[in-house]
């Protein structure tokens, strides 16, 4: 469908950028912080650094926020490390950790940058993990208490909250992310029980938010990927539908409608993986209402039907690379997409599909909380980082928001990954996403100096003009 005149971005569109605590802060054991499951990891993929220093944002708060202000950010999405607030997850509060986020939030508000707070981004307290983690219902209560502490402390300064980052990726690819040691099909029964408990925890946090704070808005933040059938075969189409329901809708249906969709439930039941649901759980989830939907988008998935007895390498892959699952689907390479250096497809049109699908299914306003290009950036002799590939990637995705707006979709913000370089979930610091380069490598901490990339100056213009530069004809895939 050709659209000759794309609508402009709404006047108050929230241009932002995102990070998470453990991937940026460092200071992993400073000022009373307890260890998280990420800190407790015993090994890291070969050649990649750990998270003990990350990009040291803990010690660069004023400098980094001043750079975000120069960039022109309207909002900054970051997460709060549970283990800074309550070092063992359910015991005593840590005043120094609480003070740190007051400092960060105050600094953002000083520049008029709206804080967008993720309550939990992969870093479960290790002490809770040792007691059974999300498989233990006590973790639900611990999360509710943690949420209430956040609302009590920061509620007067933070308007928008995100509950749990990418719960679906923790369940489907937690081994790659380092959030679980469970692996393979045999672990799925436990994982789907954890999943259910997280939904209950999320519902309790949403209810507490609305009870404690008059004007606050809260929403979930899953990773959503459109699922394409590999061919026009009706079987492939049904398979794609199944994977949409299990990978994507399961997570939003529970958050928004408080119900397991029929396809996901049939899948769980058939395999004996359906979770134990305690009295009151479903009522609670129905009562909890998000105000908006946040979602992360990187890539699409293409799938084909799989024969009943066909074996498949169902190793977990990662957030955007899935091989398939016995009895469910086979992943197929999409020959229409270019790939990043890390093997993730590049699919801006898939972003439009996702915006439409979420909007038409739930009719809630939406904000994109992650989208970006992980690449090997080079600091050149002129002291710059010429990341034109990132500019092109982001331009193409931003343009799709305008197409979605033309489709009638309500998008109120875009927060690419990432505001500043950080340590990726399993591919080290060499895989960079930021508008701001941080001078370190996986093996050498170097100066940790901050250097504005070319994409920084480009995004600054996008935000200032509330529009993409005219010279980029993105839909055609070329720069004029």
319: contact with ligand BG6 by CB under 6 A: yes
CA 461 to chain centre: 25
Q: Which of 139, 167, 242, 425 binds ligand BG6 (CB under 6 A)?
A: 425
Q: Which of the ranges 9-17, 87-95, 354-362, 421-429 carries the binding residues for ligand BG6, by CB under 6 A?
A: 421-429
Q: Is 251 in the site for ligand BG6 (CB under 6 A)?
A: no
How far apart CA 326 and CA 343 sit, in angstroms, is 23
Q: Which is nearer to ligand BG6, 125 or 416 (CB)?
A: 416
Position among 431, 432, 440, 450 found at the interface with ligand BG6 (CB under 6 A) = 431
With CB atoms as reference, the residue minimizing the distance to ligand BG6 is 424
Give yes or no for residue 421 binding ligand BG6 (CB under 6 A). Answer: no
Tokens of 398: 């931003």
**Does the protein bind ligand BG6 through residue 427 (CB under 6 A)?**
yes
| Member of 61, 426, 460, 466 binding ligand BG6 (CB under 6 A) | 426
Answer positive or negative: Cα dihedral of 84, 204, 151, 251: positive
Over the window 91 to 130, marking each residue x when it contacts ligand BG6 by CB under 6 A and - when it does not, the resulting string is ----------------------------------------
Is residue 372 classed exposed, middle or buried when 0-12, 13-18 and 19+ CB atoms within 10 A define those classes?
buried
Q: Which is nearer to ligand BG6, 210 or 440 (CB)?
A: 440
- Among positions 370-409, residues that touch ligand BG6 (CB under 6 A) are 370, 374
Q: Is 196 an interacting residue with respect to ligand BG6 (CB under 6 A)?
A: no
CB nearer to ligand BG6: give 210 or 431.
Answer: 431
Q: Which of 107, 370, 392, 399 is catalytic?
A: 370
Nearer to ligand BG6 among residue 9 and residue 414 (C-beta): 414
Rounded Cα distance between 128 and 142, Å, is 9
Q: Which is nearer to ligand BG6, 21 or 405 (CB)?
A: 21
Measured CA distances, 194 to 123, 179, 251 (Å): 15, 12, 13
Catalytic residue flag (residue 370): yes
**Side by side, which strands form the sheet with 114-120?**
217-221, 160-165, 114-120, 75-79, 14-18, 411-414, 366-370, 293-296
Q: What are phi and psi of 418, to 5 degrees?
A: -145, 160
Q: Which of 417, 435, 456, 458 binds ligand BG6 (CB under 6 A)?
A: 417
Residue pair 268/171 in contact (Cβ under 8 Å)? The answer is no
Count other Cβ atoms within 10 Å, centred on residue 135: 15
CB of 431 to ligand BG6, least distance (A): 5
Give the total of residues touching ligand BG6 (CB under 6 A). 17
428 contacts 47 by C-beta, under 8 angstroms: yes
Q: Is 139 in the site for ligand BG6 (CB under 6 A)?
A: no
Q: Does 169 bind ligand BG6 (CB under 6 A)?
A: yes
Find the part of the chain contacting ligand BG6 (CB under 6 A) among 135-143, 152-160, 163-171, 287-295.
163-171
Among 13, 16, 20, 60, which residue sits at the site for ligand BG6 (rule: CB under 6 A)? 20
User: Which CB, 148 or 426, lies closer to ligand BG6?
Assistant: 426
Residues forming the site for ligand BG6 (CB under 6 A): 20, 23, 165-166, 169, 223, 296, 318-319, 370, 374, 417, 424-427, 431
The residues that are catalytic are: 370
């Amino acid at each position: 469908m050709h659209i000759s005149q794309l609508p402009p971005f709404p006047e108050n569109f929230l241009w932002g950028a995102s990070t998470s605590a453990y991937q940026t802060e460092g200071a992993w054991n400073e000022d009373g912080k307890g260890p998280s499951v990420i800190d407790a990891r015993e090994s890291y993929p070969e050649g990649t650094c750990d998270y003990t220093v990350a990009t040291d944002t803990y010690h660069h708060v004023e400098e980094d926020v001043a750079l975000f202000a120069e960039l022109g950010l309207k909002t900054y999405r970051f997460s709060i490390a549970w283990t800074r607030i309550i070092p063992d997850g359910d015991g005593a509060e840590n005043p120094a950790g609480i003070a740190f986020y007051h400092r960060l939030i105050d600094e953002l508000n000083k520049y008029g940058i709206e804080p967008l707070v993720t309550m939990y981004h992969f870093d479960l307290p290790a002490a809770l993990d040792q007691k059974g983690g999300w498989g233990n219902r006590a973790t639900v209560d611990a999360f509710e208490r943690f949420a209430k502490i956040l609302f009590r402390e920061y509620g007067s300064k933070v308007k928008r909250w995100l509950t749990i980052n990418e719960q679906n990726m923790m369940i489907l690819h937690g081994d790659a992310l380092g959030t679980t040691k469970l692996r393979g099909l045999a672990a799925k029964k436990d994982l789907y029980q954890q999943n259910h408990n997280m939904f209950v925890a999320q519902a309790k946090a949403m209810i507490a938010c609305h009870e404690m704070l008059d004007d606050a808005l809260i929403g979930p933040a899953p990773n959503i990927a459109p699922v394409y059938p590999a061919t026009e075969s009706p079987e492939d189409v049904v398979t794609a539908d199944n994977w949409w329901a299990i990978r994507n809708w399961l997570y939003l249906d529970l958050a928004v409608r408080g119900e397991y969709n029929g396809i996901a439930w049939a899948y769980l039941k058939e395999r004996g993986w359906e979770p134990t649901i305690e009295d009151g759980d479903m009522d609670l989830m129905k009562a909890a209402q998000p105000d908006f939907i946040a979602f992360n988008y990187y890539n699409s998935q293409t799938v084909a039907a799989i024969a009943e007895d066909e074996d498949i390498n169902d190793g977990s892959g990662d957030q955007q690379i899935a091989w398939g699952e016995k009895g469910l689907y086979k992943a197929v390479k999409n020959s229409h997409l270019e790939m990043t250096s890390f093997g993730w497809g590049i699919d801006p049109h898939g972003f439009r599909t996702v915006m439409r699908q979420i909007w038409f299914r739930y009719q809630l306003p939406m904000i994109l909380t992650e989208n970006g290009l992980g690449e090997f950036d080079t600091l050149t002799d002129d002291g710059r980082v010429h990341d034109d590939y990132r500019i092109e990637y982001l331009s193409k995705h931003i343009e799709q928001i305008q197409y979605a707006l033309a489709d009638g979709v309500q998008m109120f913000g875009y927060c690419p990954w990432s505001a500043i370089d950080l340590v990726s979930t399993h591919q080290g610091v060499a895989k960079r996403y930021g508008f701001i380069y941080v001078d370190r490598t996986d093996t050498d901490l170097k100066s940790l100096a901050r250097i504005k990339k070319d994409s920084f100056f480009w995004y600054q213009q996008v935000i200032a003009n509330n529009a993409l530069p005219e010279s980029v004809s993105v839909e055609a895939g070329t720069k004029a």
